[in-house]
Chains A and B, each alone.
Chain A
Amino acid sequence: MKTIKLILVTFVAALGLSSCSSDGDDTPKIDVNPMAEFNLVTNIEANGHSLELYSEGKTGFTTGYNELYVRIKNNADDTYFANPEITWMPVMHMMSINHSCPISELAISNDYNTVTKGYVIFQMPGNADEYWDITFTYEVEGQEYSVTETIDVTAPSDGKQTVSAFMGSDDVRYILAMVEPTDPEVAVNDMQAMLFKMENMMSFPSVENYSVTLDPRMPGMGNHSSPNNEDLTYDAATKSYKGKLSLTMTGYWKLNLKLLNSTGEVLKGEDITEEIEASSLYFELEF
């Protein structure tokens, strides 16, 4: 019976945790582990607490869009704090300069009041001389704590580009990251991307009401393209850009993009022609 229940609950959790709501419920104890189906990316021990970072699909931090779940365990009694207030700040330590990257807030996910959810978009990987760290500032039981941990950010294992940091023709630095599809299919896929501008080294606000044109190509197939793609337009509800991506076969695809501002001026990227086989602004995927 218990197993069945466990399976059932984890199943519900895996489905997107949509069935139960625990708003205003401060009871921290839960029978099941809501993160059972997720990968523990890192565990930061500090202040008698463990900050656990989970990802749904990834096993580590990679360049591009990282959706992360964070919860804080009280090591004293192995319970998780309910409704923790957490802020985070990743920083890249380069040779001469430090900078951050686009992040979201960490908010309680709808389903469990111990789990917060947010995303980080790393625009570059770390290397031998340059590294990322991430600082968490959190408040539990009325007290504020802080911890900084060095993290390892790598390029995705398939080496495919899902984020692009570039200077637009308006002399603004932008970061464009692909959120969806994470699991592309030979079909019309929903495509989602996020756009930020670099206000300063530490601030990357999201950019609204621009648009991104989409021209997927297969360089290995004579730059074959697919029909019925939809350019990405701004969706205020998710603060992201959404469109449709048609993939006619499996394999390596280069998604050639063009970024247009709200008045339709091209800020980055080129149209694909006989001579220009790829845009300078692109994502890649392979499946």
Chain B
Amino acid sequence: MNIIKCAHKVCTILMETSRPIYIWVLLLGIFIFPINIGAQELVLPKDSIITINLDEVILISARKTLDYHRQPKPLSTLDEYLESSKKVDMVKRGAYAWEPTLNNMFSERLSVTIDGMRIFGACTDKMDPVTSYVDVSNLSRAHIASGQQGTEHGNTIGGAINLELDRGNFKETGLYGGVETGFESNNQMSVVGAEFNYSDSNFYVDTDIIYRKAENYVAGGDEEVEFSQFEKYNVSANGGYKLAEDRAFTASLIYDEARDVGYPALTMDVSLARAIIASVGFEQDALWGSLTNWKSKMYFNKVTHVMDDTKRPDVPIHMDMPGWSDTYGFYSQAALKAKRHQFLFKLDGYYNKSLAEMTMYPNDPNELPMFMLTWPDVRTANGGVYAEDELDLNGSLLKLATRLTVQNQNVADEFGLNSLKIFYPEMEKSKTRFLKSISGQWHKMWMPWHFNAGLSYGDRAPSVTEGYGFYLFNSFDNHDYIGDPGLDNEKSMEANTKISWEKSKFKLSAEANFFHIADYIIGEIDPSLSVMTIGAEGVKIYRNLDYTNLFNTSLDMEYAILPELKWSGLISYHRGTDNNGGNLPFISPFSYRSGFQFDNRSFSAALRITGAGKQVNYNPDFGEDQTQAYTVCSLTFGKTFKFNNDSMYAKFGVENIFDEYYSTYTDWKNIPRMGRNFFLTLSYSIN
């Protein structure tokens, strides 16, 4: 049995190494990282889920695995790491805080967590996705699960991204540290980072700090993209203490602050985006005899987000738009092994307060400021149970998972409630919803073939914006949006399959998933409403569309020309339509990646090409226009130098070699991407 699992892991890993471009994506498997596994099993057992799910794990912290070669750009932003995923595309509104999409679905359809902790952005305009409040220095890896396979930490439609914190985990590594620095020529971004860690079998503490500052970047053809600067720093500490051989206490704290962040695609910038993310946990090997790996965590996080338009010339009206999002939560989980079954049970809950306001200052100084609550202090209380069973069916594996959640949303602010009652006179202050998810995932192997298939059903509650947003301006389609507290839950029926074939030198896999989403939540124009934002074209109200269909498919190849030299390629196709056959917005056109990778442990080099075809299916009603085809190339070199015990790793590269001027379908209002960029990073580690 174990052999089958291991073999599966290995082949998945090898398939994943076909990820070209920038960074390596791989499944952490026991063969590739034998050093880790013994130590980590103590309190952080490897996710057995990976064996069946079509998950992707992006390795972020190379330091602990001494595997810099797999990172084409070690100090790149977390956004760039995520973008290297096969399923993730990043929506760009500027150079900072990109919004991850999975299976062509946005934040509200995803569950994005940090070590299982729920956290919600405080910006009504999605300028602060959760991923913007951590940095690569905090993380060991990002776990990406597609569709209902991602419900472990919360209800989702499109999938889940869980960012795992980097921690010492009671390994006998002693004191060690490192400094890193990086520079990018295009936007003169400088990055400085340092970490200092200690770990032994009873105690560990990890600390790190990172600072980034970037000026405006320059698109292809020397066109400066104004208001694309940013500055951020992040400090984190986490530690663990073993109370006894079989139990440990853990704690973590992250402080992340960005200032002076430009959003060239939007009408406003950000003067402050700040998050404090804290948790305490308790872990015990066994519980009540048969349960194992009992892990519990209590956490809170506080997000503050302040938009700013004072640096913009010619704004029709100046406004302040601060937002706050506080979340308190917990989870507790334990595993159970019984013959052919491998269960995981999880109980979780959170309480979130989302409040955002807007004050507009009239051009006539004698007039009073105009004030509204754009998020009316919505209090979301959510509690759920999750259970999964991985079942060994003699030669094939079946994973069944389910989540049941009850969620209550309450509009705590009287002013906000009265505002919404303008639109919904009958609306109740409080609304309770029941959410459910059930999924089955099956894996069968006939060497050299692997076959995966899954079927699932899941639903989600409307987000705060969709349920309670009040005149939120979307600059992409140039409409004000108003939420509807009476929306039905969005329900997804999903099927996925993957078939792969591998011989020693050649690997090939084809994958597809299909979502039929009933009561799909999307903005519809209400022509009777009058715009609030000056210059907006109209007002949209969130409505349940009868249904939409989303289809994603990809073909992944890898060929080892020499043991050190590999070629890999990926092509993908996506389609999204509504119940009238109309196109959904933000659906990727045909896209491709291809690359050569050379790696002999001390020296590495990679040449990569990414591109997309012309966008054929787009929807002008949502502000889309046809995105043109593009191809960009990058070239990187890496070298490790040894000094006694210490080591230094240098990476040099050039991205967008031919300085192509281009934008992709996820670029907000077609802001162009970065032009030619040289980067150099140096990592020095002291052992």
Contact = CB atoms under 8 A, between A and B. Distances in A.
Whether chains A and B associate is yes
Interface of A: 185-188, 218, 220-228, 246-252, 286-287
A26 to B, nearest CB: 45
A45 to B, nearest CB: 39
B244 interface: no
Contacts of B316: 222
A207 to B, nearest CB: 30
A278 to B, nearest CB: 14
B233 interface: no
Contacts of A246: 422
A188 B569 CA distance: 59
A222 B535 contact: yes
Nearest to A215: B530
Contacts of A222: 316, 531, 534-535
Given A221-B317, A222-B535, A251 B367 contact: yes
A246 B367 CA distance: 19
A188 B425 CA distance: 9
Contacts of A250: 368-372
Contacts of A286: 367-368
B362 interface: yes
B317 A220 contact: yes
Given A220-B362, A228-B422, A251 B368 contact: yes
Contact of A248 (B317, B362, B372, B534): B372
Interface string B302-322: 000000000000001100000
B534 A186 contact: no
B532 interface: yes
A224 B367 CA distance: 16
A227 to B, nearest CB: 6
B331 to A, nearest CB: 38
Contacts of A185: 415, 418
A223 to B, nearest CB: 8
A243 to B, nearest CB: 14
Given A250-B369, A251-B367, A287-B368, A187 B531 contact: no
A252 B529 contact: no
A251 B360 CA distance: 9
Given A186-B373, A186-B418, 15 more contacts: A186-B419, A220-B364, A220-B367, A221-B534, A222-B531, A224-B530, A226-B422, A227-B422, A227-B423, A228-B423, A248-B532, A249-B360, A251-B367, A251-B369, A252-B370
A252 B422 contact: no
B421 interface: yes
Interface in B359-399: 360, 362-364, 367-373
B528 interface: yes
A187 B421 contact: yes
Contacts of B373: 186
Given A187-B421, A188-B422, A220-B317, A227 B528 contact: yes
Contacts of B534: 221-222
B530 A226 contact: yes
29 contacts: A186-B373, A187-B421, A187-B422, A220-B317, A220-B362, A220-B363, A221-B534, A222-B531, A222-B534, A223-B530, A224-B531, A226-B530, A227-B422, A227-B528, A228-B422, A228-B425, A248-B419, A248-B471, A249-B532, A250-B369, A250-B372, A251-B360, A251-B367, A251-B368, A251-B370, A251-B371, A252-B370, A286-B367, A287-B368
Per DSSP, chain A at the interface is loop
A250 B416 CA distance: 12
Contacts of A248: 372, 419, 422, 470-471, 532
A40 B458 CA distance: 66
Per DSSP, chain B at the interface is loop
Contacts of B371: 186, 249-251
Interface in B513-541: 528-532, 534-535
Nearest to B539: A227
A247 B529 CA distance: 13
Contacts of B415: 185-186
A228 to B, nearest CB: 6
Contact of B530 (A186, A188, A225, A251): A225
A274 B528 CA distance: 15
A192 B657 CA distance: 69
Nearest to B371: A250
A252 B367 contact: yes
B320 to A, nearest CB: 13
The 6 closest A-B pairs by CB, nearest first: A251-B370, A187-B418, A225-B530, A249-B372, A220-B362, A222-B534
A246 B482 CA distance: 15
Most B C-beta atoms less than 10 A away, residue of A188, A226, A249, A252? A249
Most B C-beta atoms less than 10 A away, residue of A185, A222, A246? A222
A286 B529 CA distance: 22
B275 to A, nearest CB: 29
Nearest to A224: B532
B525 to A, nearest CB: 14
Contacts of B363: 220
Contacts of A221: 317, 360, 370, 532, 534
A81 to B, nearest CB: 43
Interface in B189-214: none
A251 B362 contact: yes
A133 to B, nearest CB: 32
Contacts of A187: 418-419, 421-422
A277 to B, nearest CB: 13
A286 B367 CA distance: 8
A54 to B, nearest CB: 28
A249 B373 CA distance: 8
Contacts of A225: 530
B419 to A, nearest CB: 5
A187 B413 CA distance: 12
Contacts of A223: 530
A218 B532 CA distance: 9
B535 to A, nearest CB: 7
A278 B535 CA distance: 19
B446 to A, nearest CB: 62
Given A220-B362, A222-B535, A249 B425 contact: no
Nearest to B529: A227
Interface in B336-356: none
Nearest to A246: B422
Contacts of B419: 186-187, 248
Contacts of B370: 218, 220-221, 249-252
A186 B372 CA distance: 8
Contacts of A186: 371-373, 415, 418-419
B531 A252 contact: no
A226 B530 CA distance: 7
B540 to A, nearest CB: 13
A18 B39 CA distance: 77
Contacts of A224: 530-532
A186 B317 CA distance: 20
Contacts of A227: 422-423, 528-530
Nearest to A249: B372
Contacts of B470: 248
A218 B368 CA distance: 12
A180 to B, nearest CB: 16
Nearest to A222: B534
A247 B362 CA distance: 17
Nearest to B419: A186
Nearest to A158: B368
A224 B529 CA distance: 9
Contacts of B423: 227-228
Nearest to A186: B419
Contacts of B528: 227
Contacts of B369: 250-251
Nearest to A252: B367
A242 to B, nearest CB: 16
Contacts of B530: 223-227
B133 to A, nearest CB: 30
A33 to B, nearest CB: 32
A248 B530 CA distance: 11
